[in-house]
Amino acid sequence: MARVPDAAKLKMAIGREKLRAAIDADGGTTVYAAHLLPHAAPWLPGVLASGVKLLEITHGSIYLSQNPPRRDVAFGGRYESLMASYGVPASELAARIRQLRPALGPEIFLNVAAGGTFNQIGPAKFDEEGAFLLSQAGADGIHFHKSDLDELEELVEIAHGAGLLAEAYVHRDLGRTHPFSYMGLRAESPADVRRMVKDLEGIGVDIVGLMFSVDPQYYSQVGATDRLPTDVRKRVKALVEAATTFTSVEGQITEGNARELRRLGANILVLGTQFDLAIQEAIGRVVREFSGRLPESAAAGTSPASENTDD
């Protein structure tokens, strides 16, 4: 295992304290706001006023800011970007981080997903140069989705060498040829989850996560439920019980099942589509209120004019 420079160790120690402070401030479970950067930058003061302390900037968000999706991001648009965003270079991510970091302030933990940190269908390589650029720009951690432990171990070493904490996932087995079967180390049963958690911690992963979405495209709320399926509840419980480091959960989290996840003891809830839906609803509400347009649910009912009758 490669030696980690002292400066990198210090940066990682500071990153861990940021995570711990955010988790403690929220009573044991905090929110990780994915996908808001960089296109929400003008509203960043409002985002920070919400109290969120964990934010993420990704190659996918950079891609979407430059290439508007053909369909709603909450129902498949992010999946489309993931299939193409591997071409966004680390240097471009680093440039955006340098623009955002001063406004974020030093207490915000900024995670990054870059080309080569996911098992995407397309040529992408995450190397020492990319890790250095991202860390120097102000990133605190790297978000990995890899299904091969040996490959992941090499990437964790690269991340740590640059002072970046490593977040990695376990995931159910969808089959060797399924496009999203590789979003984490395969772990179908609770026993598999426990074993894989120990494997991830053994290679130095700092945040151990679990994907549980029932939608094979994940970056949507299609099929999401407010009650965790029994098998998911057991797998999350196994994750929390086995882990000695920070834990995270990602995939179709709703307001209802978030309550269960907090009770189970997950430290970090990774939210993305919920922000997409909230922003879209807010825009629609403003347009309806200022234009006098009725919501679709009311448009089919009695019109205001027909209710105005004289006695």
Residue 261: give its domain's CATH number: 3.20.20.70
Q: How confident is the model at residue 173 (pLDDT cuts 50, 70, 90)?
A: confident
Q: How confident is the model at residue 154 (pLDDT cuts 50, 70, 90)?
A: very high
Contacts of 107 (CB under 8 A, 6+ apart): 18, 21, 53
Query: Do 161 and 8 form a contact (C-beta atoms < 8 A)?
Result: yes
Does any domain span residue 298? no
Does any domain span residue 305? no
Does any domain span residue 265? yes
Question: What is the pLDDT averaged over residues 248-261?
Answer: 92
Residue range of the domain that includes 14: 6-293
Write down the pLDDT at residue 269. Answer: 97
Does any domain span residue 241? yes
User: For the chain, what is the radius of gyration of the CA atoms?
Assistant: 21
Closest CA relative to residue 160, chosen from 130, 106, 204, 119: 204
d(CA 39, CA 65): 6
d(CA 170, CA 55): 21
Contacts of 152 (CB under 8 A, 6+ apart): 144, 146, 168, 185, 200, 203, 205
Does any domain span residue 309? no
pLDDT score of 311 more than 60? no
Write down the pLDDT at residue 152. Answer: 96
Question: What is the pLDDT averaged over residues 153-168?
Answer: 98
Question: What is the pLDDT averaged over residues 115-134?
Answer: 89
> How many of the other CB atoms lie within 10 Å of CB of 57?
30
Share of the chain above pLDDT 90, in %: 60
Write down the pLDDT at residue 31. Answer: 97
Does any domain span residue 46? yes
Between residues 65 and 108, the one the model is more confident about: 108
Secondary structure tally for the chain: helices H, strands E: 13, 9
> How many of the other CB atoms lie within 10 Å of CB of 281?
10
Does any domain span residue 307? no
Does any domain span residue 303? no
Into how many domains does the chain fold?
1
